[in-house]
Chains A and B, each alone.
Chain A
Amino acid sequence: MKILVAVKRVVDYNVKVRVKADSSGVDLANVKMAMNPFCEIAVEEAVRLKEKGIATEIVVVSVGPSTAQEQLRTALALGADRAILVEIAEDLTSLAVAKLLKAVVDKEQPRLVILGKQAIDSDNNQTGQMLAALSGYGQGTFASKVEISGDSVAVTREIDGGAQTVSLKLPAIVTTDLRLNEPRYASLPNIMKAKKKPLEVVTADALGVSTASTNKTLKVEAPAARSAGIKVKSVAELVEKLKNEAKVI
């Protein structure tokens, strides 16, 4: 079966971002970018399904600037067969991205679409669910285990109180949680080979999708800073402070 994996270029998770002085957003100039960690897990799961002989082709797609080709090449080096970049300069909302992905899904007709559960920049946790709604497919969100048998997929999901397993008819949408797998590293020979794999670039216009949004970001500010704390010398002093100064125990 064909599997479609969506990946996003985001600021590297180790970077402590700074808000711009004019409150228009966070400063991403000269900041290290990388594949969203949850998307890495999505790619890894697809590659594992191919290694098990379940997936026949892995198509990786990204919606973003031309520089997102770097992340698509990374996915190709990890084992994806070909890539599609829906090139768009501005930041889109999850709904707009879901609509663009829906157009790609209509064209590619995958049996399974795997996305990360959330991107660590916008922290929205929406795109997979929205794509599922637009395609009319079942959704297995926050997946920690994915098992395909015949015409359905059993997805074990991380929920607030523990784990839940649902069965979905294929085609279906799965979004990955951190514990689904441990992503591999791309080897140098595979990085070289990935340069020769096909990467198609399309525009939102060519897909006939409107990316208009009902949301507008008015400003972005730094969170309130916590006032500096103190170091205590002993457990006894700590208990005394908690009881008499902070009055929390």
Chain B
Amino acid sequence: MTILVIAEHDNKVLAPATLNTVAAAAKIGGDIHVLVAGQGAGAVAEAAAKVAGVSKVLNADNAAYAHQLPENVAPLVAELGKGYSHILAAATSNGKNILPRVAAALDVDQISEIISVESADTFKRPIYAGNAIATVQSNAAVKVITVRATGFDPVAADGGSAAVEAVAAAHDAGISSFVGEELAKSDRPELTAAKIVVSGGRGMQNGDNFKHLYALADKLGAAVGASRAAVDAGFVPNDMQVGQTGKIVAPQLYIAVGISGAIQHLAGMKDSKVIVAINKDEEAPIFQVADYGLVADLFEAIPELEKLV
């Protein structure tokens, strides 16, 4: 059994989600190969070669893979993947974009966002916004799977010494092209990897008030998230959204401020170790999942909290 893991990267840095995906691969068992598809991503391939448990790194360096467009990358993965028992990718926007295209090319069903490995062919995944957990078995020759990073503790980023092998295959479907991107800039830890997350909801009232959360987050070394209500109201950009349709986080501490706790929001954070809710409505559903609840006006509680931590 040999497993192919698709590296998550931006041509410069290997994304941490790859380490969680390799951890899932290790649970399945067998040799682990990592595919780095990109352009000028030699540093990423080198970093992947150092990851504990990885035995080979395939480096597909081609202009067609520069922005990992699925029309070009999926045929590459499907071609390479035929020789593997499993193909795994992190359930990031990239992984979700590419892998179903690979599965269809291989004529197999995909299993999305697994949270545990029961055996080499059986996996658990949440459905209905995390309100039910399905155990799914695959009899596909090649099992195509995306991995929810928060379900697996990352493997060590060093300790491995895999060989890097160049892959010559070039696929350019010629039906799509990259135009541009606009990335949100932030000095705070990445939301999905942060140990502490402070999130604001509609109760923040406006975007300017998020400065109180930023101040608290900076003191705690935390990332700042938001509910859909806060994003839709334009308080913060959409990549800060936590929930079924946003990011899934499972930090040590999640502080929900002015968030009612709709099903869709809980889907993104209810696996956090400790949940704190600060809300002035004591009937808010968020209190049903909170380990510590404080019924208070957030505009008084947050500055006081910032002072005391």
Interface residues of A (CB under 8 A from B): 11, 13-14, 16-17, 19, 26, 93-95, 98, 117-118, 120-134, 136-139, 141-142, 144, 154, 157-169, 172, 177-179, 213-223, 226, 229-232, 234-236, 238-239, 241-242, 246, 248-249
Asked if B292 and A229 make an inter-chain contact with CB atoms under 8 angstroms apart, the answer reads yes
Residues of A within 8 A of B308 (CB): 235-236, 239
Asked if B101 and A130 make an inter-chain contact with CB atoms under 8 angstroms apart, the answer reads yes
Asked if B93 and A160 make an inter-chain contact with CB atoms under 8 angstroms apart, the answer reads yes
Asked if A141 and B133 make an inter-chain contact with CB atoms under 8 angstroms apart, the answer reads no
Asked if B134 and A219 make an inter-chain contact with CB atoms under 8 angstroms apart, the answer reads yes
B78 and chain A: residue at smallest CB distance? A133
Residues of B within 8 A of A236 (CB): 304, 308
B 110-127 contacts with A by CB, 8 A? 110-113, 122, 126-127
Task: Assess whether B168 is interfacial by the CB under 8 Å rule.
Answer: no
- Select A123's contact among B127, B287, B292, beta carbons within 8 Å: B127
Asked if B177 and A166 make an inter-chain contact with CB atoms under 8 angstroms apart, the answer reads yes
B129 and chain A: residue at smallest CB distance? A120
B186 CB to nearest A CB, Å: 9
Interface residues of B (CB under 8 A from A): 67, 69-71, 74, 92-94, 96-105, 107-113, 122, 126-140, 173-184, 192, 196, 220, 228, 231-232, 237-239, 244-245, 247, 252-253, 263-264, 270, 273-276, 282, 287, 289-296, 301, 304-305, 308-309
Given the known A-B contacts A132-B101, A160-B239, are A120 and B136 also in contact in the complex, defined by CB atoms under 8 Å? no
CA of A165 to CA of B179 in the docked complex: distance in angstroms? 5
Listed A/B pairs (28) with beta-carbon separation below 8 Å: A17-B132, A118-B245, A120-B129, A122-B127, A123-B129, A125-B112, A129-B70, A130-B110, A132-B70, A141-B96, A154-B179, A159-B181, A161-B239, A164-B67, A166-B69, A166-B178, A169-B174, A218-B122, A221-B135, A223-B132, A226-B275, A230-B293, A231-B282, A234-B294, A235-B296, A239-B305, A246-B253, A246-B274
Residues of B within 8 A of A158 (CB): 93, 238-239
- Select B96's contact among A16, A125, A165, A234, beta carbons within 8 Å: A125
Asked if A134 and B183 make an inter-chain contact with CB atoms under 8 angstroms apart, the answer reads no
Residues of B within 8 A of A178 (CB): 228, 232, 245
Residues of A within 8 A of B67 (CB): 164, 166
Asked if A123 and B113 make an inter-chain contact with CB atoms under 8 angstroms apart, the answer reads yes
Asked if A242 and B274 make an inter-chain contact with CB atoms under 8 angstroms apart, the answer reads yes
B110, B135, B179, B276: most-surrounded residue (chain A CB, <10 A) = B110
- Select B111's contact among A144, A167, A215, A246, beta carbons within 8 Å: A215
- Select A217's contact among B131, B134, B228, B282, beta carbons within 8 Å: B134
Asked if B253 and A235 make an inter-chain contact with CB atoms under 8 angstroms apart, the answer reads no
A96 CB to nearest B CB, Å: 8
A150 CB to nearest B CB, Å: 14
B277 CB to nearest A CB, Å: 8
Residues of B within 8 A of A17 (CB): 128, 131-132
Asked if A215 and B138 make an inter-chain contact with CB atoms under 8 angstroms apart, the answer reads yes
B228 and chain A: residue at smallest CB distance? A178
Asked if B134 and A229 make an inter-chain contact with CB atoms under 8 angstroms apart, the answer reads no
Asked if A235 and B301 make an inter-chain contact with CB atoms under 8 angstroms apart, the answer reads yes
CA of A118 to CA of B113 in the docked complex: distance in angstroms? 13
B251 CB to nearest A CB, Å: 9
Residues of B within 8 A of A11 (CB): 128
Given the known A-B contacts A226-B289, A231-B295, are A162 and B239 also in contact in the complex, defined by CB atoms under 8 Å? yes
Given the known A-B contacts A95-B103, A122-B127, A235-B294, are A160 and B94 also in contact in the complex, defined by CB atoms under 8 Å? yes
- Select A162's contact among B105, B108, B183, beta carbons within 8 Å: B183
Asked if A138 and B71 make an inter-chain contact with CB atoms under 8 angstroms apart, the answer reads yes
Asked if B127 and A220 make an inter-chain contact with CB atoms under 8 angstroms apart, the answer reads yes
Asked if A248 and B96 make an inter-chain contact with CB atoms under 8 angstroms apart, the answer reads no
Asked if B264 and A13 make an inter-chain contact with CB atoms under 8 angstroms apart, the answer reads yes
B97, B126, B232: most-surrounded residue (chain A CB, <10 A) = B97
CA of A125 to CA of B308 in the docked complex: distance in angstroms? 43
A40 CB to nearest B CB, Å: 13
Residues of B within 8 A of A132 (CB): 70-71, 101
Asked if A126 and B263 make an inter-chain contact with CB atoms under 8 angstroms apart, the answer reads no
Can you list the 8 inter-chain pairs with the closest CB atoms, starting with the nearest? Answer: A129-B100, A133-B104, A214-B140, A130-B104, A126-B100, A165-B179, A162-B183, A138-B176
Residues of A within 8 A of B184 (CB): 161-162
Given the known A-B contacts A235-B301, A238-B294, are A162 and B137 also in contact in the complex, defined by CB atoms under 8 Å? no
